[in-house]
Structure 1
Amino acid sequence: MLARMTDRTAPATKRRGRRADGPAPDRAALRATALAHLARFGTTRAGLEQVLARMVQRWARGAAEAGHPSDEIESQAATARALVADVVRDMADLGAVDDAAFAGSRARSLTRVGRSRRAVQAHLAARGVGEDVADAVLDDALGTRDGAGYETELAAALVFARKRRVGPFGPAGDHDDDGAFARRLRALEAMARAGFGRAVAEAALDMDPDEAEERIFRMKSI
Structure 2
Amino acid sequence: MTEQGDRRGQGARPVRAPRRITPDYLQRAAMHYLERYSAPAAQLRRVLARKIALSCRHHGEDPAAHAAALDDVVSRCVGSGLVDDQRFAEARAATLRRRGRSARAVAASLTAKGVGRELAEEASNVDEAEELAAARKAARRKRLGPWSRGDRSASRQKDLAALARAGFSITIVRAVIDGADDEDLESDTRA
Tell me which interval the TM-score lies in, with the shorter structure as reference length: 0.7 to 0.9
Aligned partner of 1:180: which letter?
Answer: R
Aligned partner of 1:212: which letter?
Answer: L
Separation of aligned partners in 1, 2:27 and 2:190? 42
Classify the secondary structure of the residue corresponding to 2:154.
helix
Show CA shifts across 1:119-158 (max 9, x none).
Answer: 111101111111111122223xxx3xxxxx1111101100
Cα deviation for residue 211 of structure 1 reads 4.3
**Which residue number corresponds to residue 207 of structure 1?**
179
Cα deviation for residue 215 of structure 1 reads 4.8
Classify the secondary structure of the residue corresponding to 1:182.
coil
Of Structure 1 and Structure 2, the greater helix share is in: 1
Cα deviation for residue 180 of structure 1 reads 3.4
What TM-score does the superposition give when structure 2 sets the normalisation length? 0.84
**Which residue number corresponds to residue 70 of structure 2?**
84
Cα deviation for residue 89 of structure 1 reads 1.0
Q: 2:89 aligns with which of 82, 87, 103?
A: 103
Separation of aligned partners in 1, 2:90 and 2:190? 20
**Which residue number corresponds to residue 57 of structure 2?**
61
Aligned partner of 1:189: which letter?
Answer: A
When Rg is computed on C-alpha atoms for both structures, the one with the higher figure is 1
Separation of aligned partners in 2, 1:34 and 1:101? 18
Change in 2 beyond 3 A, CA 1:87/1:215:
farther
Separation of aligned partners in 2, 1:214 and 1:123? 31
Separation of aligned partners in 2, 1:61 and 1:108? 39
Please give the root-mean-square deviation of Cα atoms over the aligned residues, in Å. 2.3
Instruction: Confirm or deny that 1:115 pairs with 2:111.
Output: no
Are the counterparts in 1 of residues 145 and 152 from structure 2 also a CA contact under 8 Å? Answer: no
Are the counterparts in 2 of residues 111 and 156 from structure 1 also a CA contact under 8 Å? Answer: yes
**Which residue number corresponds to residue 137 of structure 2?**
159
Q: Any unmatched runs of 5+ in structure 2?
A: 1-5
* Number of aligned residues: 181
Cα deviation for residue 204 of structure 1 reads 1.2
Q: Any unmatched runs of 5+ in structure 1?
A: 65-72, 144-148
